[in-house]
Structure 1
């Protein structure tokens, strides 16, 4: 018990220190930064000015590319005292050079810029006086350089480490947080050991790793965890399960529909993992009282939770990641995904009738009214005041979600605002054990997993692996939008069925962003919706396809009701394929 508590405290402190470090580093971005962040204070005085951007073949900025300047074949020192002859581009790929060359010498000068970055081919740019504009006796020119990728040792090391971490995560050979942390740490360690002496082994800089972490996702998840952690102390979720049975009046098929609707709606506005975590124990109890196998209610709930979570920005982690990366609003998710999710839910009702009706027919309740009364006594609202205040705050947060596109506000701000108000109220009124909530309800391991996962993906993006995949998809689709939609949707669905959809989505984000830019017609954002539908719907395919599946079936197994990998596929697989077909038709018809 003490060991578990110490682990929680350690993880909480570790996350706090990581968040503080990220925040402080993001406060300042030095004008001149060496590889690995070595700050250089350089004089900006001079009479010859060269500025511009370094881009890759996808027109994305190349951060911290090394630029050496040669004047008439000799290295130019920006700071003669420290013999600094190199500068580095900023995180947005921009650079600014101020050279002090006497006017009489400048007219006969030949300037060469030598640009180097690990995983790219070294490129040289030659400038002569005629390339400069003159103003007030000073010379100005703008340079744009596109670097081509090369497969150096850093590429192969990053690729191998990434796929090993991916295998460990997807098949749960190692705890996913530890696997992601190990992979990120290995890449950074290689970059600053071997990579210090041989730049071809430099995978990713510390600054680039920090920039790769999407704190909007981290803070959104944290805020929603706090809100749900407070609300669950009111007994509202158990009470809702009782009301579902009361509405069904003993009709098990009707009960399954009501539970699916409740699960889908809850998963759309909360989080599907949290929803299933709270509903599963109650569902098992009701199923046992009805004398049916709990899995006949739990599997439809799982399918409904993944479908419902697809409908909104905050319903499923892949959507949170897509929305944050692509700057998509809550309303855009609802407008583009909710209709096909509603159709898929209606199809689930019909599908459920064919698959589980025989099990529902085994139900035997001698006295329905007595059983309803038993549930009413057992599952009551325990704190109406906290529930009222919590629902008010939740309503404000959802309203802010809806308006965040108009307000130009990140969704994490809304979540943190609601969480902090609810947290403060709970602390002042002492209605919730704050220490217990921080230790148990904020899933520190999940948040740390996201942090290290972002670094992993940032590393393979830095060495060019994702560029290669994006180019491969582009060539396969031949620039055809219809083919690209089908490719992203079906590949996402198949991959998400067999590996965790969170790391897969993180990998696909920059690839989808590139394809959205270069494929005619994709500017509507349709490829983002294809990725969201594929990753979320595909998660229904197997036990390990989505976190909600793992959590729900883990609780069921602990209660003595286990389903094998292939039996789950047999029950859920046909429905998953059916929903992907529906999604494909939807995307092709309406985009």
Structure 2
């Protein structure tokens, strides 16, 4: 009986071993094991631009699926900076073949979008399943859109009409948008305007560092007396002929403004010009206004001449030589037109000149306006030459222009510190315009915020609709709108607003890939600033100094002189762009 029992136990053990071995040998498809499923793709907007930080939630048959990540389980994932995403799901085999996998993609200022997949949508390889997709998110006008738009417009009004210091206005607008995003927006995503990370990324440090570097270089060079000496040389060349003097002044101002900041150029030349005009017995404004117009024309010719060009070049990755090749010729024609126009407007004033002994006056200027530090000037001009050479070659070197400016500034700064030729503390405090740099930084955040909520997309779509995909219409529209807007409001915030719009139009309008719309924006924004006394920073600075010295002009008095030549130069630019592009 015992033997029989032992045989039965042995038989059961053998059968258990057999069945276990059979189960282990059974293919994975017959078991309830986990199946690897991969879903990857990209989230873009209606302009084909990537949507970063979009939230992706996963559902299987309507039930939330939590993605396992190192250390924790997440109920959603975020898209990368380029809009891409990559999901790895572990789904039981049996369930996968009958499952409906859904992705819900959402982000503030976009409509919530849902896409679904079934087993048949996947491609199989090595017992793994893959699917690739592209998700297009459409914009929606949520509370974040309206709040950002209102704050932006209010900041714009404060800046343009100088109701508040422009740096404070930009800072206030940026701070309000960020504060709303991280208070109300934390509890309700519809109120989230822009993230802190996106705000920081929106700041174009290439522009900031370029401006800082050039401010340092100019701040050191002005201590040599070079600008005053140049003014004396201009009068010496004219030999007392005032109209010729005005042409020389305009030429010098235009050339200097092409390579240095035109605001600094006018800041240094204005007092000298006023002094020479008074000695000649003429109204200083008859020389200053042509200089203002010339400074804006000259600043348009190069990448570093005017802040709008700096912003355009950095955003569109355009080189110094591209600016010179495409803008310098038409700027030269505009400058020649200004010479002719100036003859008709101010010749009667120039005829009032009362210098009897020209040679004695030249000698007086020579004694008064001398180079004060030849060693510093020589070294400074050498560094400036190297910096300009680096500007010219930066496209070949694949180097940002800010690197060239910072390199030259640091070398010149170090030399001045070691030789004690310049008061370093004074230069840092006074010559680096920190308020201007901060203004640019907060302005970039403001524009980044309204771009994030979709306002700029709407404007771009409207411009595209008005142009009917016609390049000729688009060129004229951007040129004239930029010129008119820049005449009455600060061209810097206007240019910052237009950058993403022009970038989109360049992609979608046939023929615009040549970059012609960038040149239309540059010409309109820079030359349009000549239209009124508040149209460009150089205008405000120069006329402010003149008024402080007792020579004031009214808003409409300046317009009467400046608006006709502004319209003429814009017409010339329009013809130029249509003929050669």
Question: Structure 1 length as normaliser, TM-score?
Answer: 0.91
Structure 1 stretch 430-439 or stretch 133-142: which is displaced more? 133-142
Alignment partner, residue 143 of structure 2: 153
Structure 1 residue runs of 4+, over 6 Å off?
A: none
Among 342, 350, 360, the alignment partner of 2:332 is: 342
Alignment partner, residue 499 of structure 1: 489
Alignment partner, residue 37 of structure 1: none
Q: Confirm whether residue 572 of structure 1 aligns to residue 572 of structure 2.
A: no
Give runs of aligned pairs for residues 172-321 of structure 1, distance below 5 A.
Answer: 172-321=162-311
Q: Confirm whether residue 413 of structure 1 aligns to residue 403 of structure 2.
A: yes
Taking the aligned partners of 2:440 and 2:87, their CA distance within structure 1 comes to 37
Map Cα deviations across residues 515-550 of structure 1 (whole Å, 9 max, x no partner): 111100000100000000000010000010000000
Shift of 1:409: 0.7
Q: Secondary structure at the match of 1:47?
A: strand
Q: Which has the larger radius of gyration?
A: 2
Shift of 1:225: 0.5
Taking the aligned partners of 1:46 and 1:536, their CA distance within structure 2 comes to 61
Taking the aligned partners of 1:590 and 1:252, their CA distance within structure 2 comes to 37
Shift of 1:100: 2.0
Alignment partner, residue 58 of structure 2: 69
Alignment partner, residue 49 of structure 1: 38
Taking the aligned partners of 2:460 and 2:182, their CA distance within structure 1 comes to 28
Give runs of aligned pairs for residues 15-30 of structure 1, distance below 5 A.
Answer: none
Q: Secondary structure at the match of 1:549?
A: helix
Shift of 1:46: 8.6
Structure 1 stretch 379-388 or stretch 161-170: which is displaced more? 379-388
Alignment partner, residue 170 of structure 1: 160
Q: Secondary structure at the match of 1:416?
A: helix
Among 90, 110, 116, the alignment partner of 2:106 is: 116
Taking the aligned partners of 2:507 and 2:107, their CA distance within structure 1 comes to 24
Shift of 1:429: 1.0
Shift of 1:96: 1.8
Alignment partner, residue 107 of structure 1: 97
Map Cα deviations across residues 228-279 of structure 1 (whole Å, 9 max, x no partner): 1111111101100000000001111000000000000000011111111111
Taking the aligned partners of 2:476 and 2:286, their CA distance within structure 1 comes to 32
CA RMSD of aligned residues (A): 1.2
Alignment partner, residue 368 of structure 2: 378
Cα contact 1:114–1:122 (8 A) shared by 2: yes
Cα contact 2:45–2:138 (8 A) shared by 1: yes
Q: Secondary structure at the match of 1:149?
A: coil
Cα contact 2:96–2:119 (8 A) shared by 1: yes
Shift of 1:105: 3.1
Alignment partner, residue 6 of structure 1: none
Shift of 1:104: 4.0
How many residues are matched? 547
Cα contact 2:35–2:92 (8 A) shared by 1: no
Q: Secondary structure at the match of 1:507?
A: helix
Shift of 1:473: 0.6
Taking the aligned partners of 1:433 and 1:178, their CA distance within structure 2 comes to 29
Shift of 1:305: 0.2
Taking the aligned partners of 1:47 and 1:407, their CA distance within structure 2 comes to 46
Map Cα deviations across residues 495-534 of structure 1 (whole Å, 9 max, x no partner): 0000000000000000001111110000010000000000
Cα contact 1:46–1:98 (8 A) shared by 2: no
Taking the aligned partners of 2:469 and 2:221, their CA distance within structure 1 comes to 48
Q: Confirm whether residue 360 of structure 1 aligns to residue 346 of structure 2.
A: no
Taking the aligned partners of 2:151 and 2:384, their CA distance within structure 1 comes to 41
Among 524, 538, 547, the alignment partner of 1:548 is: 538
Alignment partner, residue 78 of structure 1: 67
Taking the aligned partners of 1:484 and 1:414, their CA distance within structure 2 comes to 34
Shift of 1:89: 1.2
Q: Secondary structure at the match of 1:96?
A: strand
Alignment partner, residue 486 of structure 1: 476
Among 95, 116, 131, the alignment partner of 1:126 is: 116
Q: Secondary structure at the match of 2:114?
A: strand
Taking the aligned partners of 1:434 and 1:475, their CA distance within structure 2 comes to 54
Taking the aligned partners of 2:272 and 2:536, their CA distance within structure 1 comes to 21
Map Cα deviations across residues 328-355 of structure 1 (whole Å, 9 max, x no partner): 0100000000000000000110000000
Q: Confirm whether residue 431 of structure 1 aligns to residue 428 of structure 2.
A: no
Alignment partner, residue 5 of structure 2: none
Structure 1 stretch 363-372 or stretch 556-565: which is displaced more? 363-372
Shift of 1:63: 1.4
Taking the aligned partners of 1:317 and 1:96, their CA distance within structure 2 comes to 41
Shift of 1:127: 1.3
Cα contact 1:91–1:208 (8 A) shared by 2: no
Shift of 1:82: 4.7
Cα contact 1:498–1:545 (8 A) shared by 2: yes
Shift of 1:83: 4.5
Map Cα deviations across residues 455-482 of structure 1 (whole Å, 9 max, x no partner): 0001111111111111111001110000
Q: Secondary structure at the match of 1:101?
A: strand
Question: Structure 2 length as normaliser, TM-score?
Answer: 0.93
Cα contact 1:318–1:535 (8 A) shared by 2: yes
Alignment partner, residue 397 of structure 1: 387
Q: Secondary structure at the match of 2:56?
A: strand
